[in-house]
Structures are given as structure tokens and as C-alpha cells.
A = this chain, B = another copy of it.
Amino acid sequence: MVKQEHIDFLNSYLPFLKKMASDDREEFFNKVVLKYYNAGEIISNNVTCSGMITVYEGQARAYIGSSTGKQISVYRLLEGDVCVLSASCVMKNLTFDVTIETEKDSQIIVLPSEAFDKFVKNNSPLKDYVLAIMSQRLSDALFLIEQTLFSSFDKRLAGFILEQASIEGANTVKITQDTIANHLGTAREVVTRMMNYFENEGYIELFRGGYKIINNVGLSSL
């Protein structure tokens, strides 16, 4: 049983909880446990099967590793982010060779696999949520394929971000992503995705209505 502060946290980050019957929600809160990880610890891989995880504090990433030790991050998990691939053992006939590893000392709220399995089977709001997350991860993965194989828009956007900063004479730039999309002849979603990617890579920091360049050299090298 987790503390009230964790329950409040879950209520604010997991939209499906509101839609669950109160009995189910109660059971959900009874089943989750809080776990502590040091930076660099493995939360889950294709051998372990921890369950559905929510980052309460800290940061983690999902990566694919090669037999030769190379790695690539598929997505990052920040405060409030949820990962269901860490419960993939409950999905029949599927293996995801993905490792979930903390990037900082972290507190992780875990819904164990058996409980997750039962909830997903019986609970439609959670099922909807898992479907949405799976779709999001698939979108992330396809975007990553595109990036790694064909990268082109990243260069254009990086160029634009630097040019705009040079025009403003400041590293902090106020501009909406809609406006950027209109400058570059693309859709806002595409800009949003790439800006988020740049933020994850540590090139820029996003704020409402703008961005701040924090790694000029990194951006320029694109």
C-alpha cells in the first residue's frame, strides 16, 4: 500500500483512474508498490517482467541494445510517464527486446504484472489507456526509424531554431510551433515531435510559446 501522496500523484497522472469503478480503483491503489532505483539500474528487460510502471520521481529510458553493446533510446520516461512494455510478459507470443533503465535516482510506482494482466482483461478504461500508450510508442519507434535512416527535417528545424535565435539576438526565443510549421511548410505535429526530440537530446528547453537553446554546438552539428 502506497501513501496518500502517491495516490494523489497517480490520480493526477493516470486519466483512466477517474473512469474506473471505485472498487477497482481501490484495488489498483492496494496493488501498486513504490520501488527505489539508483541511477543506471535496470527496471525491466525481456527476462524480468516488473509490470506497469509510473515514474514518481527521477527519470528512465527505454532502449534497444545490440550484442556488441551499442544502444539506442527509443523513448524517455519522465515524472508521471507510464511504461507498459515492462509488463509485456502478459502479452501473448510477443517479445520486446527493450530494456528500461533509470537515468537518475528514481522512485517508481509499479503495478505488478499479475494485477496489470487482470485489470487490462477486465477493465475497459485501462485497456483504452494501454492501447493509447502502445500507439504512442509505435509512433515513437517509427519516428526513430525515420530519423535514424532518413534524417532530413531535423536539419531544417535545427537550422531554423539557430537562425531565429540569431535574429532575436538571444538564446531564448518566443515563437509558437504553429508559426514554425508555417515557416517550414509542414504540420505543427511534426514540429512538436521534433522539438520534443531536441529537448530530450538536451539541445533546447521548451516552454509555453517558445524555446531556449542550451546546446548551441550540438544543434549546429546537425
Q: Which residues of A contact B (CB under 8 A)?
A: 64-68, 70, 72, 74, 85, 88, 91-98, 124, 127-128, 130-132, 134-139, 141-146, 148-153, 185, 187, 189-190, 193
Q: Inside 8 A of A127's CB, which chain B residues have their CB?
A: 124, 127-128, 131
Residues of B within 8 A of A138 (CB): 85, 96, 134, 137-138, 141
- Knowing A68-B152, A134-B131, A189-B95, say if A145 contacts B139 (CB, 8 Å): no
- Contact status A74-B145, CB under 8 Å: yes
Given A127-B128, A131-B130: A94 and B139 within 8 A (CB)?
yes
Give how many copies assemble into the complex.
Answer: 2
User: How close is A181's CB to chain B, nearest CB, in angstroms?
Assistant: 12
The CA of A42 and the CA of B143, in the complex, are separated in Å by: 20
Q: How far is the CA of A127 from the CA of B127 in the complex (A)?
A: 8
